[in-house]
C-alpha cells in the first residue's frame, strides 16, 4: 500500500503537447526589435504603455491646473480641456492599464510561472505588440491633426462625439476609432496566445489548481477581454460608418447649427449599451490581474500560504462571469426602463460578494503572517486599503436612488479613481519592484522606493478624499470652469486648488520611480536569483534574468505555489519544483538540529 502512495506522490504526468523547437533570432533586429521572445515583448509592451501613461499623467496635471486655478493659464481653453479629459481617460484605461497588465505582465509571467519556454504562438505575439505600438502612434497622432484630438469624453457618446461643436470631430474621432480597432485586433492576437499558453503549455505536474493566482487572474482577464472588446469594435465600426458614410446607427434626427442633418432614427442609447457592455468588463480586465499579482505578493512577503486558494480561484471566475451582467449601472440616468435599473442594481451588489471574499482572504493571509514590510508589500497593503475605500463608494453608486443625484459628479470621479486607477497602479508599482530583481538581475534602491510609495499613497488620498465631498455638493465633472452656483460652497475653489497641489505633488514624485528603475539598471547591486525566497517557478530559473527559453530542462512541478512556512521544515518556503524525496531530506535536517 505504501508503495502505491509513493508512486502516486512521485508520479509526473506526461507533457500534453510535445515540445517544439524554439525560434532563435539571428539578427539584432530580430532579437530586440521584432523579437519573438515573450520576455522581450513584455518589456516592449510595458515600456510603451508606461511611456504613453506619462503623457496621460501630464494631461491630468494640465486639467488640474485649470480646475485649481481657473482663468490663470491662457494656454488651456475649453477645447483643450475636453481633449485632455478624453485622452487622459482613454489612455489610462486602455493603452496603459490593459496593455501593461495583459501585454506586459501577461507576457512575462505566464510562460515563466507555468514552466513553459515561451508563448504558444511567438510570431503572433510579436505582431500583437506591433499592432499595439501602431495603435498608440495613431492615438498620439490625433493631437496633431486639424481640429485636434477628440474631446467627446472617453465614453465617446454619440451624437455629440461626431457633431460639430465637440472638439476633434474632423479627424480626431476617426483616428480614435481607428486606433481602438487596431488595438483590439492586436490584443486578440495576444489574448488567444495567453489563453492557449495557459491551457496547453503548462509544464508537467502544473495542474490548473497548482497555478499561481497571478496566472489564474491574467487568464480570466484575457477571457473577459476577448469577449468584451468585440463590443467596442462593433460600436467603433458603426460609429465610423455614421461619421464617414452618413448611416444612422446611433444618430437620431438632429438639428445642427440651425439646419436639419441627414441623420434620422438612430439610437444613442444603443451605443451606450454596446459601450458599457465592453466598459464594465474592462474594469475587471484591469482589476483581476491586479488581484492576482497582489495575492502572490502578499503571500510571499507574509511568508504564508494564501488563505482560501480555491475560493480565490472561484471568486476570480465568478467576478469575471458576473461582470458581463452589470453594465447598465453606468446608465441609470439614460432613461431606461426602471425595472432594468432594479435588475442591474441587484447584480451589481451581488458582484460585491466574490470581491469581498477576496478582500477577506488577503486580510486573513496577513493575519499572523510573518509580515516583511518590503516595498512590494507596502504597495500590496496600500492596494488593499485603497480598494476597500473605492469599493465602499461603489455600494453607494450601485444603488439607483443614490446614484441619480451623484451621477456625473466628482463623487463618481473619486470612486472610479480609487477603485480602478490608484488601486491597480499601486499593484503595478508593487509588482515592478517585486519582479525587478528577476527581470533585470539587479536590486532597486530601497530608500527611494519607500519615498516613492509614501508620496504616491498619501498623495492619492489627498487628491481623491476631498473629491467625495465636492461630489456630494453636486459639483459636476468634465466642466471647464464653474462660475457662480448656488450649490457649490464658497470654499470649494480653495479645496480644488489644494487637490491640484496634491495631484502635482504625486505626479512629480513619480520621478523617484523613474530615476530608481532606470538608475538601478546600471548602478543597482547584483540581485540574488530568488531574493524574496519565493516558491513560484519564475524564481527558479537557471539564469537571472531568465535566458531565451527560460529553463534548461523544463521543471517538474510537485506542489502548489504557496508552500510557505510549512510546519516541520527549517526553510520557510518549498519551491514548486522540489520533489517529495528532496523535501523529505529538507525536513530531516531540522529533526537532527
Partner 1 sequence: MEYVLLTLAVVMGIVVWWVLRQTVNVKPWVPAASTEAVDSAGVRAGLDVGSNPLRPSKVALGGFLAVSSSIFALFISAYSIRMEYGDWRPLPEPTLLWANTVILILCSVFLHSAWVAVKKQNLVGIKVGLALGSLMTLAFMVGQGLAWNQLLDSGYGISGNPANAFFYTLTALHALHLLGGLIALAFAFKKVWGAVEFSEIETKVYAVELCGVYWHFFLAVWAILFTYLLNT
Please report, as residue ranges, which positions from 218 to 247 form the binding site for partner 1 (by CB under 8 A).
223, 226-231, 233-234, 237-238, 241, 245-247
**Residue 94 or 527 with smaller CB distance to partner 1:** 94
What are the phi and psi torsion angles at 280 (to 5°)? -75, -50
207 binds partner 1 (CB under 8 A): yes
> Closer to partner 1 at the Cβ: 44 or 583?
583
Nearest to 214 by CA among 123, 332, 293: 293
Q: Which residues contact 590 (CB under 8 A, 6 or more apart)?
A: 568, 569, 570
Please, what is the minimum distance in Å from the beta carbon of residue 352 to partner 1?
19
* Residue from 25, 62, 141, 317 binding partner 1 (CB under 8 A): 317
* Contact residue for partner 1 among 61, 134, 254, 270 (CB under 8 A): 270
Query: At a CB cut-off of 8 Å and minimum separation 6, what does 529 contact?
Result: 438, 539, 541, 544
Considering beta carbons, is residue 83 or 193 the nearer one to partner 1?
Answer: 193
Measure Cα distances from 502 to 8, 282, 388, 467, 505 in Å: 59, 28, 21, 12, 5
Q: How far is the CB of 174 from partner 1 (least distance, A)?
A: 17
Closest to 111 (Cα-Cα) out of 421, 555, 427, 533: 555
Site for partner 1 in 354-383 (CB under 8 A): none
Half-sphere exposure at residue 434, Cβ-oriented, CA atoms within 13 angstroms: 29
State yes or no: residue 518 binds partner 1 (CB under 8 A): no
User: What are the cell numbers at 399?
Assistant: 444603488
Considering only residues 175 through 194, tell me which ones interact with partner 1, judged by CB under 8 A: 188, 191-193
Least distance in angstroms from the C-beta of 38 to partner 1: 14
Torsion of CA 302, 303, 307, 308, to 10 degrees: 140
Which of 79, 160, 261, 267 forms a contact with partner 1 (CB under 8 A)? 267
Binding mask 244-263 for partner 1 (x = CB under 8 A): -xxxxx------------x-
C-alpha cell at 161: 462625439
Smallest gap from residue 312 Cβ to partner 1 (A): 11
Among 55, 254, 325, 472, contact with partner 1 (rule: CB under 8 A):
325
For the chain, percent helix, then strand, then coil, each to nearest 5?
65, 0, 30
- Residue whose CB is less far from partner 1, 154 or 560: 560
* Residue 229 vs 457, nearer CB to partner 1: 229
Q: How many CA atoms lie less than 13 Å away from 144 in the CB half-sphere?
A: 5
Least Å distance between CB 6 and partner 1?
Answer: 10
Q: Which residue from 42, 153, 24 is spatially nearest to 100, judged by alpha carbons?
A: 42
To partner 1, the closest distance from the beta carbon of 583 in angstroms equals 7
Q: How far is the CB of 292 from partner 1 (least distance, A)?
A: 15
CB 410 within 8 A of CB 487: no
Q: Which of these ranges, 140-148, 267-275, 356-364, 434-442, lies near partner 1 under the rule CB under 8 A?
A: 267-275
The residue to which cell 505575439 is assigned? 125
Total residues in contact with partner 1, by rule CB under 8 A: 72
Q: Pick the binder of partner 1 from 137, 209, 333, 518 (CB under 8 A).
A: 209
78 binds partner 1 (CB under 8 A): no
Q: Which is nearer to partner 1, 68 or 103 (CB)?
A: 103
What is the CB-side half-sphere exposure of residue 513 using CA atoms within 13 A? 22
Decide: is 4 part of the binding site for partner 1 (CB under 8 A).
no
Distance CA 166, CA 79 (A): 8
Residues within window 287-316 making contact with partner 1, judged by CB under 8 A: 305, 309-310, 313-314
Contact yes or no for 477/67 (Cβ under 8 A): no
Name residues contacting partner 1, limited to 545-574 (CB under 8 A).
558-560, 562-563, 566, 574
Is 362:294 a contact under the CB 8 Å cutoff?
yes
212 in contact with partner 1 (CB under 8 A):
no
* Closer residue to partner 1 (CB): 87 or 306: 306
Distance CA 512, CA 169 (A): 39
Residues 255/248, Cβ–Cβ less than 8 Å: no
- Ranges within 405-464 binding partner 1 (CB under 8 A): none
Q: Compute how many other C-beta atoms are within 10 angstroms of the C-beta atom of residue 556.
A: 17
In total, the chain counts a number of residues equal to: 593
Q: Nearest Cα to 97, choosing from 138, 139, 46, 137? A: 46
* 4 or 490: CB nearest partner 1: 4
Distance CA 81, CA 306 (A): 45
Please say which residue, 38 or 50, places its beta carbon nearer to partner 1: 38
What residues from 17 to 56 belong to the interface with partner 1 (CB under 8 A)? 17-18
Is 210 a residue that touches partner 1 (CB under 8 A)? yes
Binding mask 103-122 for partner 1 (x = CB under 8 A): -----------------xx-
- Residues from 114 through 173 that contact partner 1 (CB under 8 A): 120-121
Q: Which of 324, 480, 482, 505 binds partner 1 (CB under 8 A)?
A: 324
Is-contact 303 532, C-beta < 8 A? no
Cβ neighbors of 478 (< 8 A, separation 6 or more) are 82, 85, 153, 408
In this structure, what C-alpha cell is assigned to residue 141?
497622432
Among 12-20, 93-101, 144-152, 506-514, the segment contacting partner 1 (CB under 8 A)? 12-20
* The binder of partner 1 chosen from 54, 195, 451, 498 (CB under 8 A): 195
Question: Which DSSP helix (H) or strand (E) runs through 259?
Answer: strand 259-260
Question: Which one of 19, 29, 51, 264 is in contact with partner 1 (CB under 8 A)?
Answer: 264
Amino acid at each position: 500500500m505504501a508503495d502505491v502512495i509513493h508512486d502516486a506522490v512521485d508520479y509526473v504526468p506526461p507533457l500534453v503537447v510535445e515540445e517544439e523547437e524554439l525560434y532563435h533570432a539571428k539578427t539584432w533586429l530580430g532579437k530586440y526589435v521584432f523579437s519573438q521572445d515573450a520576455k522581450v515583448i513584455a518589456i516592449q509592451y510595458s515600456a510603451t504603455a508606461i511611456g504613453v501613461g506619462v503623457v496621460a499623467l501630464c494631461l491630468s496635471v494640465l486639467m488640474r491646473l485649470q480646475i485649481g486655478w481657473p482663468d490663470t493659464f491662457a494656454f488651456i481653453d475649453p477645447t483643450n480641456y475636453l481633449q485632455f479629459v478624453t485622452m487622459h481617460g482613454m489612455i489610462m484605461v486602455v493603452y496603459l492599464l490593459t496593455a501593461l497588465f495583459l501585454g506586459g505582465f501577461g507576457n512575462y509571467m505566464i510562460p515563466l510561472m507555468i514552466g513553459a519556454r515561451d508563448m504558444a504562438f511567438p510570431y503572433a505575439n510579436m505582431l500583437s505588440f506591433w499592432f499595439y505600438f501602431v495603435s498608440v502612434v495613431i492615438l498620439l497622432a490625433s493631437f496633431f491633426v486639424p481640429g485636434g484630438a477628440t474631446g467627446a469624453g472617453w465614453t465617446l457618446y454619440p451624437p455629440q462625439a461626431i457633431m460639430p461643436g465637440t472638439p476633434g470631430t474632423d479627424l480626431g474621432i476617426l483616428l480614435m476609432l481607428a486606433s481602438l480597432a487596431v488595438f483590439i485586433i492586436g490584443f486578440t492576437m495576444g489574448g488567444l496566445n495567453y489563453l492557449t499558453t495557459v491551457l496547453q503549455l503548462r509544464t508537467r505536474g502544473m495542474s490548473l489548481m497548482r497555478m499561481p493566482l497571478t496566472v489564474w487572474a491574467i487568464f480570466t482577464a484575457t477571457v473577459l477581454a476577448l469577449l468584451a472588446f468585440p463590443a467596442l469594435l462593433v460600436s467603433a465600426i458603426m460609429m465610423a460608418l455614421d461619421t464617414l458614410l452618413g448611416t444612422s446607427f446611433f444618430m437620431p434626427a438632429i438639428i445642427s447649427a440651425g439646419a436639419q442633418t441627414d441623420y434620422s432614427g438612430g439610437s444613442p442609447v444603443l451605443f451606450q449599451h454596446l459601450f458599457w457592455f465592453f466598459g464594465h468588463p474592462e474594469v475587471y480586465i484591469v482589476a483581476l490581474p491586479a488581484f492576482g499579482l497582489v495575492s502572490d505578493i502578499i503571500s510571499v512577503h507574509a511568508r504564508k500560504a494564501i488563505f482560501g486558494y480555491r475560493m480565490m480561484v472561484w471568486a476570480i471566475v465568478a467576478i469575471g462571469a458576473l461582470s458581463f451582467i452589470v453594465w447598465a449601472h453606468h446608465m441609470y440616468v439614460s432613461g431606461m426602463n426602471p425595472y432594468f435599473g432594479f435588475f442591474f442594481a441587484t447584480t451589481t451588489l451581488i458582484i460585491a460578494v466574490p470581491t469581498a471574499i477576496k478582500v477577506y482572504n488577503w486580510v486573513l493571509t496577513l493575519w499572523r503572517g510573518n509580515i516583511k514590510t518590503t516595498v512590494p508589500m507596502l504597495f500590496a497593503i496600500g492596494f488593499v486599503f485603497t480598494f476597500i475605500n473605492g469599493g465602499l463608494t461603489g455600494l453607494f453608486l450601485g444603488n439607483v436612488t443614490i446614484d441619480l443625484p451623484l451621477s456625473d459628479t466628482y463623487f463618481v470621479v473619486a470612486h472610479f479613481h480609487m477603485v480602478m486607477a490608484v488601486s491597480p497602479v499601486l499593484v503595478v508599482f508593487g509588482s515592478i519592484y517585486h519582479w525587478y530583481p528577476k527581470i533585470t538581475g539587479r536590486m532597486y534602491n530601497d530608500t527611494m522606493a519607500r519615498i516613492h510609495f509614501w508620496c504616491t499613497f498619501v498623495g492619492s488620498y489627498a487628491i481623491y478624499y476631498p473629491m467625495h465631498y465636492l461630489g456630494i455638493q453636486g459639483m459636476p465633472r468634465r466642466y471647464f470652469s464653474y462660475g457662480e452656483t448656488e450649490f457649490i460652497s464658497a470654499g470649494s475653489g480653495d479645496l480644488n486648488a489644494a487637490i491640484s497641489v496634491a495631484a502635482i505633488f504625486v505626479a512629480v514624485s513619480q520621478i523617484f520611480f523613474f530615476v530608481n528603475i532606470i538608475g538601478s539598471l546600471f548602478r543597482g547591486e547584483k540581485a540574488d536569483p530568488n531574493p524574496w525566497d519565493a516558491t513560484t517557478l519564475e524564481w527558479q530559473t537557471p539564469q537571472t534574468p531568465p535566458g531565451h527559453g527560460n529553463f534548461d530542462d523544463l521543471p517538474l512541478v510537485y506542489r502548489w505555489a504557496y508552500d510557505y512556512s510549512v510546519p516541520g521544515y527549517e526553510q520557510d518556503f518549498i519551491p514548486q519544483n522540489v520533489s517529495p524525496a528532496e523535501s523529505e531530506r529538507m525536513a530531516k535536517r531540522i529533526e537532527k538540529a
